[in-house]
Structure 1
Amino acid sequence: MSTLSFRLALIPAIAAAFVAGPFVSTAQAQDDKVYAISDVQAPPKLASSVVAARIIADSYPADLKSRGVGGMVELQFVVDAKGKVDPSSVEVVDATQTALGEAAKKVVTKLDFNPAKVNGSPVRVKVTLPIIYKP
C-alpha cells in the first residue's frame, strides 16, 4: 500500500473536495462558459479513484519521499465538458513544499473526470483539489 494519503481516496467525499471560489467567464459563447462549482447540479467526479491514487502516488518526488518530507498541495483548475483538465488553467494555490506543488501541477492533467453537468448537459467548471503527500 502506498504511503500517499489524500482526500480522493474517499469516493463519496470527492464532490465535497471540490470547492470553487467566485469565477466569472469572459467568454461569450455558452460552450466556453466556466461555471463555479456552486452553479452546477452535478459536480465533476474522478473517473477512477484507483487510477488517480496511482498517478498521484507516482508523482511524489523521490528525494522528498526518501527524506520523509510530506505536505499538502491545493490546486485550482478547469475541468472541461469532456472531463479533461485544461492544462492552461492549472495553478498551485498553496503548497507546503514547492517541489510537491510542481509535481502535483504536472500530474493533475493526467486525471480523468466525469464532467460537471447543468440541466443534464456537460459543462466546464473551475474546481479546487487538495492533495496530501504523506511519507
Structure 2
Amino acid sequence: MSTFRLALFPAIAAVLLAGPLAGTAAAQDDKVYPISEVTNPPKLASSTNAARLIQESYPADLKSRGVGGMVELQFVVDSKGKVDPTSVEVVDATQTALGEAAKKVVAKLDFNPGKVNGAAVKTKVVLPIIYKAN
C-alpha cells in the first residue's frame, strides 16, 4: 500500500505543478483583446466626468481663437477599467495641441472594463474626442 501512495504522489504533484496550466492563466491575463472579441466593450464610468476633463484640457489659446477639432486616440483599458498610460497613441488629430491635450486626458478616465464571457479583460479601444469652440 505504501508503494502505491509513493508512486501516486509524484504523478499528482506533476499535474498540479505543470507549467502549461499555470502559464495559460498568466497568458490570459496578459492578452489584449480587440473590441471585436469582447462580449461587453469597455464603457466610460462617467460621461459627465469625461466631458468635464475634456473641456478643462482644451488649450486656452485654441479655445479663445474659436479653433476646434477632432482627435482619435487608441489605448488599452485594463481589467480594472484603468487606461494603461504607456499604451495611449494619437491616431489622428486636426491640431497637434488638441492631440497632446486629449492624450493627457484619456489617462485620467475611468472605464467599466471590457468583458469576455463575464470576465473582465484588457481591451484595445479607439476613442474619438471632439473639441468644440463655443
Alignment TM class, shorter chain as reference: 0.7 to 0.9
- Residues in 2 aligned to 1:107 and 1:119: alpha-carbon distance in whole angstroms: 30
1:72 Cα shift? 0.4
The answer to whether residue 73 in structure 2 is matched with residue 75 in structure 1 is: yes
Which stretches in structure 2 are left out of the alignment for 5+ residues?
A: 1-25
Name 1:44's counterpart in structure 2: 42
**Counterpart secondary structure, 1:122:** strand
The aligned length equals 108
1: CA distance between counterparts of 2:132 and 2:44? 21
Mapped pair 1:33 → 2:31? yes
SS of corresponding position for 1:110: coil
| Structure (1 or 2) with the greater helix fraction | 2
Q: Please give the alpha-carbon distance, in whole angstroms, between the structure 2 residues aligned to 1:29 and 1:41.
A: 19
Counterpart code for 2:96: T
Q: In structure 1, what is the equivalent of residue 55 of structure 2?
A: 57
Provide the identity percentage: 81
* 1:49 positional shift: 0.6
Equivalent of 1:101, from 91, 94, 99?
99
> Which amino acid is 1:115 matched to?
P
Show structure 1 runs of 5+ residues with no match.
1-27
- Give the Cα–Cα distance (whole angstroms) in 1 for the partners of residues 107 and 29 of structure 2: 21
Letter in 1 for 2:120: P
Could you tell me how far apart the structure 1 residues matched to 2:115 and 2:56 are?
A: 30
What is the CA RMSD across the aligned residues, in angstroms?
Answer: 0.8
Which structure would you say has the larger Rg? 2
